[in-house]
């Protein structure tokens, strides 16, 4: 009888084999799961992005339809839930996680994900995982994987969370971090802004598939026209936004996007760029600057608006390949792209409006990158906030008296948001405006003066925007 069909007695904690594995014997491997596990490996071994690594693999192997959907769901799901999956695997194995064969660990993560977070029957999840491990690691490790999987299958997700997470009453952040498979430091960063009562909604929204938004290029097409052509809906807050149905296919294939009348851009990104255009400025308003422009989403929106008014936008980007993307995104507009360090770009000061959309942890866009939450480390924050401060100081120097700076990050993490802004305001004496008035009709913007958007409140990425006026 095949190993996987035999009814086991209750398995003890799995022990890795002591003897050398026998060579793999050929087994029928489900191509969707194999593609998923190979993508998990690419993410682990070469820091690949799952959403960039998987699609070409599916195409190359002609995996389509339901199989492609299964591979996608399992890959992205296992990436997102990694911390929870690892805690369960660790509990079911008698060896610490760090000592497990990494290839087998990829397969176990995929397998335990199926057990905990899909409707795939447990026997199928166990059998397919054991098949993959046997195929890739040999039959000895297949036996070990079988034992781990059978133990993991003894409880559902809620029971595992109850067993492994700290008690909610004693440590709500730790409990919710495990429940929603977020690293604790990220859950804490969210709780520091929102409070514990709203944390669950925020973490849950981070696990949901984000809607795709389009920007209708001002002067080319209206949001209503774009919505009618694409079958989407005008976005709730941005006058240029269109919200597409989730799973509506590749938005890059839409005709208005192909023809340059529209671009894919989260509504939150549209709102922070538009906020820069709204405060009054003294004198001429025709020279605008985007100091961190790649790949060019906000430069496109700002460049369109300033071009319509007869002005121009300078767009600075340090990475040459990203500067090329800005050139492409802003084709046909009065936009000059400069490959330069925004801290000292060599441009003549005197800009009326300056956007500084700095590199950041990206904790506000974790929904978009399945593996991102486990890749970012708290130790990344120090270098980033130093760069953010330097770029903001440079933006202020380049702005003329009476002009406005928008400081933007795609993160709600306080050191990157209020921390940077309050330090720079204190050092330079610039005036921080109450940005909330420049987000008309957007509810739940908090106490100001900075604006923090949230997926669970606004359906946008968690973008932060502070508006600063340089004294006359």
Ligand X SMILES: C[S@@+](CC[C@H](N)C(=O)[O-])C[C@H]1O[C@@H](n2cnc3c(N)ncnc32)[C@H](O)[C@@H]1O
In the complex, the residues that contact ligand X under the rule CB under 6 A are 269, 292-298, 316-319, 322, 341-343, 357, 359
What separation in angstroms does the CA of 376 have from each of 90, 103, 268, 360, 471?
22, 22, 22, 10, 37
Nearest Cα residue to 117 out of 105, 125, 127: 125
Checking 137-140 for CB contacts under 8 A at 24+ apart, the result is 137/21, 137/24, 137/101, 137/103, 137/104, 138/21, 138/22, 138/23, 138/24, 139/21, 139/22, 139/24, 139/25, 140/17, 140/19, 140/20, 140/21, 140/22
What's the DSSP call for residue 180?
T
Strand-by-strand arrangement of the 241-244 sheet: 233-234, 241-244, 212-216, 262-264
- Is 248 annotated to bind ligand? no
Q: What is the distance, to the nearest Å, from the Cα of residue 284 to the centroid of all Cα atoms in its chain? A: 38
- Of the candidates 79, 92, 410, 465, the residue annotated as catalytic is 410
Between residues 140 and 343, which has the closer beta carbon with respect to ligand X? 343
Q: Measured from the CB of residue 424, what is the shortest distance to ligand X in angstroms?
A: 16
- Is 429 annotated to bind ligand? no
- Is 450 annotated to bind ligand? no
Active site residue 360: no
Between residues 179 and 353, which has the closer beta carbon with respect to ligand X? 353
The DSSP H or E segment spanning 392 is: helix 380-398
- Is 292 annotated to bind ligand? yes
- Is 309 annotated to bind ligand? no
Nearest Cα residue to 459 out of 367, 374, 344: 367
Q: Measured from the CB of residue 105, what is the shortest distance to ligand X in angstroms?
A: 32
Torsion of CA 19, 83, 266, 204, to 10 degrees: 140
Calpha distance 142→51 (Å, rounded): 28
The two three-digit tokens of residue 111, written as one number: 């397998």
Q: Measured from the CB of residue 308, what is the shortest distance to ligand X in angstroms?
A: 19
Give phi and psi for 356, each to the nearest 5.
Answer: -125, 95
Between residues 140 and 322, which has the closer beta carbon with respect to ligand X? 322
Secondary structure (3-state) at 149: helix
Between residues 292 and 435, which has the closer beta carbon with respect to ligand X? 292
- Is 295 annotated to bind ligand? yes
- Is 317 annotated to bind ligand? yes
Buried b (16+ CB within 10 A) or exposed e, 411-425: bbbebbbbebbebbb
What separation in angstroms does the CA of 249 have from each of 56, 161, 297, 362?
16, 34, 20, 25
Helices (H) and strands (E) in the chain, counts: 20, 12
Between residues 201 and 339, which has the closer beta carbon with respect to ligand X? 339
- Is 220 annotated to bind ligand? no
Q: Measured from the CB of residue 53, what is the shortest distance to ligand X in angstroms?
A: 21
Scanning 81-138, the segments in alpha helix (DSSP H) are: 82-92, 102-117, 122-137
First vs last Cα of the chain: how many Å apart?
84
- Is 293 annotated to bind ligand? yes
Q: Measured from the CB of residue 386, what is the shortest distance to ligand X in angstroms?
A: 11
Q: Measured from the CB of residue 406, what is the shortest distance to ligand X in angstroms?
A: 11
Between residues 232 and 342, which has the closer beta carbon with respect to ligand X? 342
Between residues 111 and 295, which has the closer beta carbon with respect to ligand X? 295
Binding positions: 292-298, 317, 341, 357
Binding positions for S-adenosyl-L-methionine: 292-298, 317, 341, 357
Residues serving a catalytic function are 410
């Amino acid at each position: 009888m095949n190993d996987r069909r035999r009814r086991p007695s209750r398995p003890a904690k799995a022990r890795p084999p002591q003897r050398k594995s026998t060579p793999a014997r050929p087994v029928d491997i489900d191509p969707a799961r194999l593609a998923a596990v190979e993508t998990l490996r690419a993410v682990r071994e070469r820091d690949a992005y799952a959403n960039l690594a998987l699609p070409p693999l599916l195409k190359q192997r002609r995996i389509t339809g339901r199989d492609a959907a299964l591979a996608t769901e399992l890959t992205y799901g296992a990436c997102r839930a990694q911390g929870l999956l690892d805690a369960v695997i660790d509990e079911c194995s008698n060896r610490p996680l760090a000592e497990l064969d990494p290839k087998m660990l990829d397969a176990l993560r995929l397998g335990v994900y199926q057990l905990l977070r899909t409707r795939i029957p447990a026997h199928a999840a166990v059998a397919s995982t054991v098949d993959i491990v046997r195929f890739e690691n040999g039959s000895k490790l297949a036996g070990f994987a079988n034992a781990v999987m059978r133990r993991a299958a003894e409880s559902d997700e809620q029971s595992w969370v109850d067993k492994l997470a700290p008690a909610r009453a004693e440590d709500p952040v730790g409990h919710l971090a495990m429940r929603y498979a977020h690293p604790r430091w990220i859950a804490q960063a969210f709780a520091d802004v929102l409070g514990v009562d709203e944390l669950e909604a925020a973490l849950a929204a981070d696990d949901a598939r984000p809607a795709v938004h389009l920007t209708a290029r001002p002067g080319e097409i209206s949001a209503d026209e774009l919505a009618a052509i694409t079958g989407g809906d005008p976005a709730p807050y941005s006058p240029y936004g269109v919200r597409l149905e989730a799973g509506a296919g590749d938005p890059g294939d839409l005709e208005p996007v192909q023809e340059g009348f529209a671009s894919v851009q989260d509504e939150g990104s549209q709102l922070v760029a538009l906020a820069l255009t709204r405060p009054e400025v003294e004198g001429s308003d025709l020279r605008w600057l985007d100091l961190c422009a790649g790949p060019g989403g906000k430069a496109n929106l700002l460049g369109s608006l300033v071009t319509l008014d007869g002005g121009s936008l300078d767009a600075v980007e340090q990475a040459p390949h990203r500067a090329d993307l800005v050139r492409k995104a802003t084709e046909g507009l009065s936009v000059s792209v400069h490959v330069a360090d925004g801290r000292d770009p060599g441009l003549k000061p005197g800009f009326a409006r300056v956007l500084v959309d700095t590199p950041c942890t990206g904790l506000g866009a974790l929904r978009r990158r399945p593996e991102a939450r486990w890749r970012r480390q708290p130790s990344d924050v120090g270098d980033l906030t130093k760069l953010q401060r330097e770029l903001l100081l440079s933006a202020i120097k380049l702005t003329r008296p009476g002009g406005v700076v928008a400081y933007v990050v795609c993160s709600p993490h306080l050191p990157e948001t209020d921390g940077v802004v309050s330090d720079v305001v204190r050092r330079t004496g610039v005036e921080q405006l109450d940005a909330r008035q420049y987000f008309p009709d957007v509810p739940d913007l908090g106490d100001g003066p900075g604006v923090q958007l949230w997926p669970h409140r606004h359906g946008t990425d968690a973008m932060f925007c502070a508006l600063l006026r340089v004294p006359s």
